[in-house]
Each structure stands twice: as structure tokens, then as C-alpha cells.
Amino acid sequence: MDNQTRSELSRKKAIAAALAILTREGVGALTFDSLSRESGISKGGLLHQFRTKHGVLEALLEHQRGEFEQIGAEYLNGEGSSKDEPTLAAQIAIFRQALNQPHSVARAMLAVMVESPAMLEASRDKDNQIMKAIGKEAVDHDLSLLRYFAASGMAFHILIGLTELDDETRGRLFDRLQDDDRWKAFQSKKTAAK
């Protein structure tokens, strides 16, 4: 195995370990020592990969963005291609999937919010692009935003432990948020006529 491949495998292993620590113990427990114990990678090897805790958080954010983009692309290539508002439906699918992962990559976003809020700038830019795409597809922009923020709010509350929903209830709510037909009756007559 060449050095680049070995380095990439170590990086993936460290990211998985960081997500496990965040899920189990929270951001305060994410240190190079805990990361070394969890991943089995020497502290020196981790420092070579990331240099600082900030570097670990950046890698987690990058990983999270990639995972979310993959979930959205897979959804759009399948079920989402038939949706009236595919960008909105893909975003709801992403929030739903983030909750179904045992070591959710969404926890990376929460860790960054605590440790280094300035790192969220790239995520804000991406979210602004998503909001614009949702607006372009929407028959009723306000209703589309309500659906988007209902999904993101539900995911956020569950991820940080403020709300517990059983799997059946959570699935039913996400199904309803993604069901275009159930929302058509609520669309503003003024915007629906466009």
C-alpha cells in the first residue's frame, strides 16, 4: 500500500473515531489523546494529519458536507427525480438520513458550532445556495421554507437531545414533509396561480 493510500485510510479512521467520540461524549471530550485511543493512531500520526483540533473540526465539516451531498445526489437520482420541488425534497431526505446514522456526521456541525462558529461560513454559503434553489422551484416559497425548517428543526432537536421521537413517528413526519401532494392544498392561491 502506498503512503497516500495509507494516509487517506488513517484520515478516514480518525474521522470515524472523532464522530464516535462526539456521539458518545460530546465536543469537550474530543482531544488528540482521546482521538488517539479511539482510532488506534498515534498522537504524532494524528498531528501529522490535522495539526490542531481546529484541523480535526475542519476535516469533520468537510466529511459532513461530502456525506450530505452524496445523500442528496442519491435521493435526486432515485425517488427525488419525480418531486415537484426536488431540492427541498433532497434536503428533507438529508435531515432524515442524518438522524438514522449511528455516528451522524451532523454532529460535526454541532461540534463546530460550539468550538469555532467562524468555521461555519462555508456552510452558510452552501445553505444560501440551497435556499435560492428551493425558491426557484417553489410554487409557494413560504410553504417550502416552512417544510425545510420543520425538517431541519426536527433533526436539530433530536440530535442535541431536546426531543425524543420514536422511529415510527419520526418516519411518519418526514414522509409527510416530503409528500408534495399533501402540501398542495396549503399553497397560497396567489403563488399557486404562477
pLDDT of residue 34: 93
pLDDT average, residue stretch 141-158 = 91
Provide the mean pLDDT of the chain: 84
Q: Which of 92, 106, 115, 89 is nearest to 161 (CA)?
A: 106
Express each pLDDT in 64-88 by its tens digit.
888 889 999 999 999 888 898 999 9
Handedness of CA 38, 40, 43, 48 (dihedral sign): negative
Structural contact between residues 112 and 60, judged by C-beta atoms closer than 8 angstroms: yes
Express each pLDDT in 153-170 by its tens digit.
998 888 777 788 888 999
Express each pLDDT in 77-129 by its tens digit.
998 888 989 999 999 999 898 887 755 666 666 667 777 777 777 778 888 99
pTM of the entire predicted model: 0.78
In whole angstroms, what is the distance from residue 129 CA to residue 167 CA?
31
